[in-house]
A = this chain, B = another copy of it.
């Protein structure tokens, strides 16, 4: 009887689940609403029911699952398998998620940070294939990160390494949601990008985005890139500022773990080549001249929204020292 691996991506709004074969080929996937208000026990029951359905659709039953992996937003005690106090899933407090799933599924369960899991998915099957050292950023409401060093996820002393959005690039700069000042996330996340555009218009900058703000009451990051494509000058300035901060993040990480490749993922990469080109441009501006700047690649992720479930399943399948 063939073995299966399950990958779970637990978010504040949705739970994505995938069923994979031993070669990490995706057999089936699904997405259910999280409904965190029901409380952790009910959410886990929903998850198990969805996994049961998915495995059945794939032609197997629950006893065929070799291992499962789950990614969830931090901060959490990943070593102990506990979601302590997630900002995105507020009803989950001190939830022993790994043990709960393991008891229900009767198989080993790997639990890790959602960005680490997506990073691992890209490393194994996406933009990181064929290298040993990679740094990964997800650009969404916040900026998540992942580090692969010598072919292994770098987790840190307590499992909370690679919180790369909270690297300070401007000491005493903009206030970040995390409480620090000057974090990369406070400038260059999708939300921060939209916020800077809104602030500029409110301060009197001329832009075609002004009508969007008046009509919708807000500007999104997508609006910024839409108006960039139409040639709006403010959108260009805002995009450049975002790209510069992301480039400085790359410089900092090059001096820290020295990856061969930087991989950007998340909703914001929909902006396309125009964003990637500006990140590369500013990287060349900021990096020292001692080492040729083209010895490191900067590219976009390739797995899209499936990176989380693929990475979770790949972690479940990986060798014990990488779980």
Shortest distance between the CB of A277 and any CB in chain B (Å):
19
Interface string of A149-179 (1 = CB under 8 A from B): 1000011111111111011111100001011
Size class of the contact patch on chain A: 35 or more
Closest B residue to A245 by beta carbon equals B171
Q: Which of A54-94 contact B (CB under 8 A)?
A: 75
Q: Which residues of B contact A147 (CB under 8 A)?
A: 256-257
Shortest distance between the CB of A240 and any CB in chain B (Å):
13
Instruction: Give this chain's copy count.
Output: 2
Shortest distance between the CB of A256 and any CB in chain B (Å):
5
Query: In the complex, A244→B210 CA distance in Å?
Result: 39
Contact B171 A157 (CB under 8 A): no
Contact B167 A255 (CB under 8 A): yes
Partner of A171, one of B244, B255, B260: B244
Contact B257 A161 (CB under 8 A): yes
Query: In the complex, A171→B250 CA distance in Å?
Result: 12
Q: Does A313 lie at the interface of the complex (its beta carbon under 8 Å from any beta carbon of B)? A: no
Q: Which residues of B contact A306 (CB under 8 A)?
A: none
Q: Does A248 lie at the interface of the complex (its beta carbon under 8 Å from any beta carbon of B)? A: yes
Partner of A288, one of B154, B158, B166: B166
Q: Does A133 lie at the interface of the complex (its beta carbon under 8 Å from any beta carbon of B)? A: yes
Contact A167 B133 (CB under 8 A): no
Partner of A248, one of B132, B168, B295: B168
- For the A-B complex with A158-B295, A171-B244 known, give 6 more contacts whose Cβ atoms are closer than 8 Å: A75-B290, A131-B157, A156-B258, A167-B252, A179-B289, A252-B252
Q: List 8 A-B contacts (CB under 8 A).
A: A132-B157, A158-B258, A164-B256, A167-B255, A171-B244, A171-B245, A171-B286, A179-B289
Interface residues of A (CB under 8 A from B): 75, 131-133, 147, 149, 154-164, 166-171, 176, 178-181, 244-245, 248, 251-253, 255-260, 286-291, 295
